[in-house]
Amino acid sequence: MAHLGSRRRMSPGLRTRIAHRKAHRTPPSPLIAEPDEMMGKAHELFQLCDKEDKGLITKRDLQRLQNELPLTPEQLEAVFDSLDQSNNGYLTPVEFSMGLGKLLGVNLSHEEEKENSMMEETFESGWSDGPDEEDDAEEMLFSATMEHLGASRIFQEHKEIRDLWSRLRKERPELLSHFEEFLYRVSSYIRDVHHEKDTLEQALKRKETDHGREVRCLYEEMEQQIKIERERLLKKDASREHDRHTVLQRDLVRKEQELEGIVLRQKQLEHQLQALNNEQLQTRVQNDQLRQLNDDLVEQLERTKGDLERSHENLERLKRQEQEGEECKKRGDMVGL
């Protein structure tokens, strides 16, 4: 969006009216579902459209929602066009779910559109004529809208959103409320994702702490058991000291081996993921080697077959030569007689 240097200030009366409208603006629609409910509704609507189970829906498929949503075919086409950001002619489940807020907010947008229109008229009447003043009014209205939707702190870059919002406001005002509803849903979804991420990280940290505590407790318990066993054996009769000492040494070795096994198991668990990843790579390498070996064997078999055929031909030729030699010899003997 353009930032102009010289702009006139807003009148105090206009500033008061804008603040009053921002303070009393209607909150987002109560029909907007919680994330789990919204995802369930999105899945249900997507299944109604995707009768063939293709994994995507087209504009024609979306018309099947006429009995589910109070929308005309033209409105459904407009909703599809607004959701199809990539302009590829179809929607994936993710794209459809992210845009569900537009579908749920259709019947609740009229009052908000009226309020936005009144606020725009207030801006227009409170500024003097000129493009700078109009940009200032539109900028303040956009900032107030983003703050109201809870999206100002979610999106670091507002320029593309600002341009699209301004374009819809001027060219397609009937879709502006859907776009704002969509921003609200995306912002809520991102906040939920961040919250879930923080929750998972905290749970992972707690799990690591609990695991370390369990290992330490096990180590301390084993040390205590070893100590108790040692003290008990040392209190035995002196006549059995040698045998008891031998038993104690065996127990100590066994306990130490168990402790080493626990430590080794812990290291194995830590390297298990890496081993699983390496296994896939090794399998691919082995498959490549087996294919190469198979190709070599096939080539060797072809060469062996060729050698065998040539040997067979040479053998047949030698047999014929030998037979011809014998016949010549017989004829020579007959002539000599």
Predicted local distance difference test score (pLDDT) of residue 122: 42
- Both structure tokens of 310: 């040539």
The pLDDT tens digits for 182-217 are 888 887 888 888 888 889 999 999 988 888 888 888
pLDDT at residue 290, rounded to an integer:
92
| Mean pLDDT calculated for residue range 259-287 | 86
Q: What integer is the mean pLDDT of 131-141?
A: 69
CB within 8 A of 123, min separation 6: which ones? 14, 18, 137, 138, 140, 141
Helix 176-234 and helix 159-171: axis angle, to 10°? 150
Average pLDDT of span 283-301: 91
Per-residue b/e over 307-326, b at no fewer than 16 CB within 10 Å? eeeeeeeeeeeeeeeeeeee
**What's the rounded mean pLDDT across residues 270-288?**
87
Residue with the larger pLDDT of the pair 205 and 45: 205
Facing residues of 57 across strands?
Answer: 91
Q: What is the number of other CB atoms lying within 10 angstroms of the CB of residue 50?
A: 18
Find the mean pLDDT for residues 46-63: 84
Mean pLDDT of the chain: 74
Q: Identify any residues that bridge with 91 across adjacent strands, giving them in sequence order.
A: 57
Lowest mean pLDDT among 123-127, 250-254, 280-284: 123-127
Q: In the predicted model, what is the mean pLDDT of residues 48-76?
A: 82
Question: Amino acid identity of 146?
Answer: M
Question: Is the pLDDT confidence value at 116 over 60?
Answer: no
291: pLDDT confidence band, cut at 50, 70 and 90? very high
| Range with lowest mean pLDDT among 176-185, 199-208, 245-254, 279-288 | 176-185
Residue 37: pLDDT band by 50, 70, 90 thresholds?
low
**Rounded to whole angstroms, how far apart are CA atoms 179 and 185?**
10
